């Protein structure tokens, strides 16, 4: 009888464990909400949707990634506040958002005007300094999942622009959230007008600004080229993006899942680099069909821009841009160009 009693107790315990297990598994499900300002019908949006699906498959549903596309989580400033408060756990941030979470302006230094001049140089710089930049982001309480080269910032203007003097005669609209770039251009003698990004077209039509610096993809999407019909061929600065999690979310993911999740994110990073470059080329080609004029600069004209910015950069190091990182990048690029 005692043996039967013990067996009955064991059976009841076993059945109890089985009944609790699904509830425990349900409690252990990790939900990560990711905010994106980018429209869902873009390469970024498609890549995020794939990442969400693949993360779920790789963890048998234990990690659920929910994407809030199209800026429905708010502006980049709103997203940063929600990240820190854990209302959302992940986000796509521009270089300006990434710079806001690091104290030393290292991220913005990579976007210093005319420091990095083409994709080959950008690959060289990121290959050398990406681990350092990620360490700075991680130290600030976040974790970097992936980076993306989101194209190049160019000048778009009502009147043609070939040399700095052409642009200094026009009122240049600047994103009010980008004080480092505004300070750099103001120091070079440009007429700077802060403007909210959703008001650029209004300001151009109203004559309050005559030119902007934007990525071609943004200019095409916002139809800015209908008024600012000229694009200077020179690259001003790389436009970067990154996917970050807050450390609370990253620590909540079991270590056994992390290698697979990182592999998925890095693979999508590589795919995005290719698709974004293609998208930028397609945007320029499409705008050209509808009236955009590309002002093709000669090497001598490009050098005038480089000389103009180099004249003022020393006064901006330590304030708008990180002195140590700027000097390290500049040294690397000078050796590469030689």
Q: Which domains does the chain have, with CATH numbers?
A: 29-337 (3.40.190.170)
Show Cβ contacts of residue 260 under 8 Å, excluding neighbours closer than 6 positions.
58, 59
pLDDT above 80: residue 256: yes
Q: Determine the angle formed by the axes of helices 299-316 and 179-187, rounding to 10 degrees.
A: 110
Confidence of residue 188 (pLDDT cuts 50, 70, 90): confident
- Our CA dihedral for 57, 149, 95, 104, rounded to 10 degrees, sits at 100
Element holding 310 (H helix, E strand): helix 299-316
For residue 69, the SS3 value is coil
pLDDT above 50: residue 24: no
Q: Pairing relation of β-strands 230-232 and 142-157?
A: antiparallel
Mean pLDDT along residues 285-293? 94
Q: How far is CA 229 from CA 162, 199, 217, in A?
A: 14, 17, 14
pLDDT above 70: residue 1: no
Query: Mean pLDDT, the chain, as a whole number?
Result: 86
pLDDT digits (tens, 9 = 90+) for 139-174: 888 999 988 887 899 999 999 999 999 999 999 998
Between 184 and 254, residue with greater pLDDT = 254
Looking at mean pLDDT, say which of 47-51, 184-188, 278-282, 293-297 comes out highest.
293-297
**Cα–Cα distance measured from residue 261 to residue 266, given in angstroms and rounded to the nearest whole number:** 9
Give the tokens for residue 37: 């300002």
pLDDT above 60: residue 199: yes
Contact between 333 and 116 under an 8 Å Cβ cutoff? The reply is yes
Show Cβ contacts of residue 261 under 8 Å, excluding neighbours closer than 6 positions.
55, 58, 59, 63, 253
pLDDT digits (tens, 9 = 90+) for 8-23: 444 444 444 444 444 4
Around 259, how many Cα atoms within 13 Å sit in the side-chain half-sphere?
1
Q: What is the pLDDT of residue 147?
A: 87
Contact between 28 and 62 under an 8 Å Cβ cutoff? The reply is yes
Give the tokens for residue 226: 């209908």
Contact between 134 and 266 under an 8 Å Cβ cutoff? The reply is no
For residue 197, the SS3 value is helix
Mean pLDDT along residues 71-80? 86
Between 82 and 149, residue with greater pLDDT = 82
Radius of gyration of the chain (CA): 24
Show Cβ contacts of residue 154 under 8 Å, excluding neighbours closer than 6 positions.
213, 214, 215, 216, 219, 231, 232, 233, 234, 235, 236
Neighbours of 2 (CB within 10 A): 6
**Cα–Cα distance measured from residue 123 to residue 280, given in angstroms and rounded to the nearest whole number:** 17
Mean pLDDT along residues 281-300? 94
Backbone phi and psi for residue 331, each to the nearest 5 degrees, phi listed first = -65, -45
């Amino acid at each position: 009888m005692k043996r039967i009693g013990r067996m009955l107790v064991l059976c009841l315990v076993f059945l109890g464990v089985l009944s609790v297990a699904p509830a425990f598994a349900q409690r252990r499900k990790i939900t990560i909400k990711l905010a994106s300002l980018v429209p869902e019908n873009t390469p970024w949006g498609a890549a995020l949707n794939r990442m969400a699906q693949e993360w779920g498959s790789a963890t048998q549903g234990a990690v659920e990634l929910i994407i809030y596309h199209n800026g429905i989580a708010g502006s980049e400033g709103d997203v940063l506040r929600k990240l820190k408060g854990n209302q959302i756990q992940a986000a796509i941030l521009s270089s300006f958002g990434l710079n806001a979470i690091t104290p030393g302006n290292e991220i913005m230094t990579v976007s210093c005007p005319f420091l990095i001049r083409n994709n080959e140089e950008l690959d060289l710089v990121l290959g050398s300094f990406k681990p350092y930049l990620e360490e700075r982001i991680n130290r600030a309480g976040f974790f970097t999942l992936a980076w993306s080269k989101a194209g190049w910032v160019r000048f778009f203007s009502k009147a043609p622009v070939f040399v700095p003097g052409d642009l200094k005669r026009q009122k240049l609209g600047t994103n009010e959230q980008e004080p480092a770039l505004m300070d750099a251009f103001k120091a070079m003698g440009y007429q700077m007008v802060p403007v909210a990004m959703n008001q650029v077209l209004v300001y151009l039509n109203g004559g309050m600004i005559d030119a902007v610096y934007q990525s071609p993809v943004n200019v095409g999407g916002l139809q800015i080229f209908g008024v600012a019909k000229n694009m200077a061929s020179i690259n001003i600065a790389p436009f970067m993006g990154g996917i970050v999690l807050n450390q609370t979310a990253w620590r909540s993911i079991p270590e056994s899942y992390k290698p697979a999740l990182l592999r998925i994110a890095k693979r999508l990073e590589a795919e995005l680099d290719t698709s974004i470059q293609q998208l930028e080329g397609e945007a320029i080609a499409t705008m050209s069909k509808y009236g955009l004029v590309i002002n093709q600069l000669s090497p001598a004209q490009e050098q005038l821009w480089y000389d103009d910015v180099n004249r003022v950069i020393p006064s901006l190091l330590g304030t708008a841009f990180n002195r140590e990182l700027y000097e390290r990048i500049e040294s690397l690029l000078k050796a590469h160009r030689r």
